Chains A and B, each alone.
Chain A
Amino acid sequence: MTRPRSALRELTATRFRLFLREPSAVFWTFGFPIILSIALGVAFRNRPPDAVRVAIEASPDAGRTLVQLASPQVKATVEDEATARRELRTGKVVLVVVPGAPITYRYDETRPEGRLARSVVDDLLQRAAGRRDPTPVADDRVTEIGARYIDFLIPGLVGFNLMSSSMWGIGYVIVEMRTKKLIKRMLATPMRKSDFLLSFVAMRALFVLIEVPLLFGFGWLAFGLRVAGSPLLLFALSTLGALSFAGLGLLVSSRAQNTQTVGGLMNLVMMPMSICSGVFFSTANFPDGMQPFLRVLPLTALNDALRAVATEGASLQGIAFQVVTLTLWGAVSFAVALRTFRWR
């Protein structure tokens, strides 16, 4: 006779089994973030700045100017005036040099590439004309680990992943069980409602132990990512994030009667945050007026705190605001979800 096990343990083990037996769920949770980090890591890898593209307007002096601009930093061609103007307009070149006295630079001042090209080209032409720099300078070129795009991206993907697996693994799954009358069936047994809900929370907490090392481990292997702060704090923070989003997942599932409804609600929660919470690019790109609102979004709080710990080595005091924010989101959404949950 096999010994009967505790209901919470069995429910949690069941959640695990069902997850692992759903290949698409496994892919979206583990495979997708890794593919995304490879794609984005490669697309935005740090590389030497490209040569600036420049056109020289055809004139008797054009040949001499072309020679003076011979440098790895510049790619120059000689064009007649109409072609040069068209290429500037379409962005094929960022600067047109009109030889003569004075030499005229034609470029769009609002584009950083234009200003960069002007400064590079002007420097070369002035030196060719005999300018001597009054003070010697030396360059020390560094690409600091921790300041690259991939260092920014991986913590963001971890946060994003913790959000989406809580939403799918709790919100969607619970509504699916409701439509299949499985919740009702279980309620016809002495199963405790608290065990049922706790099994989802336990599953999320245990998953952190897989999700977080997987992504940081991948970042370390593929991109030499380093975690500056305490790994323990990183785990604790990720668990808090997972639990907080577990509350939100429970909240979106609490009333919905079919999977379309919960799908819509999940998008409502996840879409804005995947753009505004600094997953792929910094929230600093948004206007100052929006910052107070962005800062208190749960995913912003989680991402900010993960980055602070992972790249700056922040301590718990350094992320106190984010920890409080996440705790509040979790506590409030759990409380509301429990009061509104549709059991039957």
Chain B
Amino acid sequence: MTTTPPLAVSCRALVKRYDRDVVAVDGLDLEVHAGECFGLLGPNGAGKTTTVEILEGLLDPTAGEVEILGMRWSTDERALRERLGVSLQQTHLPERLSVGEVLTLFRSFFARGKDPDEVMRVVALEEKKSAWSEKLSGGQKQRLAVACALVGDPELLFLDEPTTGLDPQSRLQLWDVVESFKRGGRTVVLTTHYMDEAERLCDRVGVIDHGKLIALGSPRSLIASLGGQEVIEVTLEEGTLDEAVVSRLHGVHGVRRVADGFALAVEPLHVALPALVDHLRGASLRLKRLATRHATLEDVFVELTGRGLRD
């Protein structure tokens, strides 16, 4: 007998319409299991923020059902708020409050929670305890925003684009924070348009575009669905590839045009690469550039929509 883990988040047929013709969320079904880290991946304007704000009970959906930790916003708002941690896409915390004061303030809203000093340690802001938030760097501000979400010791954490606009080192620091939260067995729902972030942090991702879920699964299984784990990027001096022929080469699972040439989904690489080189020689095509890399969720998105995540 199998027991399905309890659901932290579930929504059915979620729709959010702004004005008359803007449909930000267009019939979304999602289930997030307790203890997993779920990522909503999609380009700007896909409807990620709208979706999470509905889940957070901050926006009313036009239609659809939402259940969080087995409860509903209409009847259990206060109980739910005690158990949720939320970090909005953009919040300007009061500029002239210190890190310690901001956290003490947010802690006071919760009946139970963590000691502000402990949360400061988790987000590595202990040294900034008495610094005004206006004096913090972008990455430190973002960690403070996340700390405000952690100070109520939540079971379920929502993070909306936690690392957008941050430098690489700050992103790594924030990922550490999320990973340490995950290790406690808690649930995370985050949105991002960075595929590396989703691959690193998320157990499962839902890819959304124009308010619709277009793919769902673990990063690994989504990438596997491309047919190949590796990508060969080819740019020719002149002429063009015969896509039909190339796609039948050993180890090549897909061919698509990209800005300056072609991208081939291949596996295994050591079979596909010699086959490709032989083919190019036979067809007298000269290479301008050839590169190989691991496939990413970006490739999945392009495969599904024909567009890049940041187009």
Contact = CB atoms under 8 A, between A and B. Distances in A.
Interface of A: 1-2, 4-7, 9-11, 14, 17-18, 21-22, 180-182, 184-191, 344
Contacts of A185: 86, 88, 91, 93, 148
Contacts of B117: 1-2
Contacts of A7: 108-109
Interface stretch (B77-85, B173-181, B228-236, B243-251): B77-85
Nearest to B158: A188
Contacts of A11: 105, 108
A182 B91 contact: yes
A2 B116 contact: yes
A10 B108 contact: yes
A181 B88 contact: yes
A17 B101 contact: yes
Which among A22, A185, A188 has the highest number of chain B CB atoms within 10 Å? A188
Contacts of A189: 81, 86, 106, 109-110, 152
Given A10-B108, A182-B93, A188-B58, 20 more contacts: A1-B117, A2-B115, A4-B107, A5-B108, A10-B105, A11-B108, A14-B101, A17-B97, A18-B97, A21-B96, A181-B92, A185-B88, A185-B91, A185-B93, A188-B56, A188-B57, A188-B84, A189-B106, A190-B78, A190-B82
A298 to B, nearest CB: 30
Interface in B108-124: 108-111, 113, 115-117
Contacts of A9: 108
Contacts of B88: 181, 184-185, 188
B104 A5 contact: yes
Given A188-B84, A190-B81, A180 B105 contact: no
A244 B255 CA distance: 72
Contacts of A191: 109
Interface in B59-98: 59, 78, 81-82, 84, 86, 88, 90-94, 96-97
B108 A184 contact: no
Contact of B58 (A22, A182, A344): A344
Contacts of A2: 104, 115-117
B83 to A, nearest CB: 9
23 contacts: A1-B115, A2-B115, A2-B116, A4-B110, A4-B113, A7-B109, A9-B108, A10-B108, A14-B94, A14-B101, A17-B97, A17-B101, A18-B94, A181-B92, A182-B91, A182-B93, A185-B91, A187-B58, A188-B81, A188-B88, A189-B81, A190-B111, A191-B109
A10 B58 contact: no
A5 B108 CA distance: 5
A187 to B, nearest CB: 7
Contact of A180 (B91, B96, B106, B108): B91
Contacts of A1: 115, 117
B108 A6 contact: yes
Nearest to A189: B109
B112 to A, nearest CB: 9
A17 to B, nearest CB: 7
Contact of B108 (A4, A21, A188): A4
B253 to A, nearest CB: 44
B146 to A, nearest CB: 12
Contacts of B111: 190
Nearest to B77: A190
Contacts of B109: 7, 186, 189-191
Contacts of B132: 21
Contact of A17 (B57, B78, B90, B96): B96
